[in-house]
């Protein structure tokens, strides 16, 4: 169990950092953003396009949950078993483990533009707005569907953690891809 205030502050902090990383990526050329070390790795833009698809599902789902929530001043959040598992799986680590991605979330081999980053930046701004609206929402009792099955529900707090850490994970991946490209010149 964690205090809701500290929990939300961490998510806001990570989302702000994600936003700053996105702004740095916007300074690069489209050619650099589409580069990758090999055919099986994702380019920085492929990483972000992947996140945009998740954002298209989760941001409206989170907003709907907030809009339909009764006022509740519960000051703590307790992660669920399934939510905790998903968050632990996706949370960035020293060495990122490869994960299988469903085809509809995979943009490998697609030539992408900076519009992908502009869209993601707007999603991060929306996430900050949604996080600012949670002071009177119970993050443990309120639940959201997940992208792979609307039959499975996660606690709102777990969904917020998953989305935030998933974004952070792929921004790290995007930057590592750039570092590999830059150092291999």
**Domains of the chain by start residue, with CATH:** 2-183 (1.20.120.450)
* Helix (H) or strand (E) run with residue 29 in it: none
Higher-pLDDT residue of 82, 183 = 82
**Quick one: how many helices (H) and strands (E) in the chain?**
6, 4
Rounded Cα distance between 114 and 51, Å, is: 14
pLDDT band (50, 70, 90) for residue 102: very low
Rounded to two decimals, the pTM is 0.88
The predicted-structure confidence for 44-98, as pLDDT tens digits, reads as follows 999 999 999 999 999 999 999 999 999 998 999 999 999 999 999 999 887 655 6
Q: How far is CA 157 from CA 85, 129, 134, 161, in A?
A: 13, 15, 10, 6
With a cut of 70, say whether residue 110 has pLDDT above it.
Answer: no
Which pair of structure tokens corresponds to residue 170?
A: 């792929």
Tally of CB atoms within 10 A around 161 = 26
pLDDT of residue 185: 38
Backbone angles phi, psi at 149, to 5 degrees: -165, 125
pLDDT band (50, 70, 90) for residue 105: very low
């Amino acid at each position: 169990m964690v205090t809701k205030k500290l929990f939300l502050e961490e998510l806001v902090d990570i989302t702000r950092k994600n936003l700053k990383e996105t702004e740095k990526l916007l300074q690069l050329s489209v050619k650099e953003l589409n580069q990758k070390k090999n055919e099986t790795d994702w380019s920085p833009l492929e990483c972000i396009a992947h996140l945009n698809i998740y954002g298209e599902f989760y941001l409206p789902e989170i907003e709907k949950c907030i809009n339909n929530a009764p006022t509740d001043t519960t000051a703590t959040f307790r992660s669920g078993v399934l939510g905790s598992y998903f968050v632990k799986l996706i949370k960035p680590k020293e060495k990122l483990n490869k994960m299988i991605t469903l085809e509809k979330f995979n943009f490998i081999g697609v030539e992408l533009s900076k519009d992908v980053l502009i869209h993601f930046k707007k999603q991060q701004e929306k996430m900050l707005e949604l996080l600012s609206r949670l002071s009177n929402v119970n993050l443990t009792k309120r639940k959201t569907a997940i992208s792979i099955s609307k039959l499975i529900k996660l606690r709102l707090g777990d969904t917020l953690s998953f989305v935030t850490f998933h974004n952070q994970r792929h921004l790290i991946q995007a930057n590592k891809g750039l570092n590999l490209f830059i150092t291999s010149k």
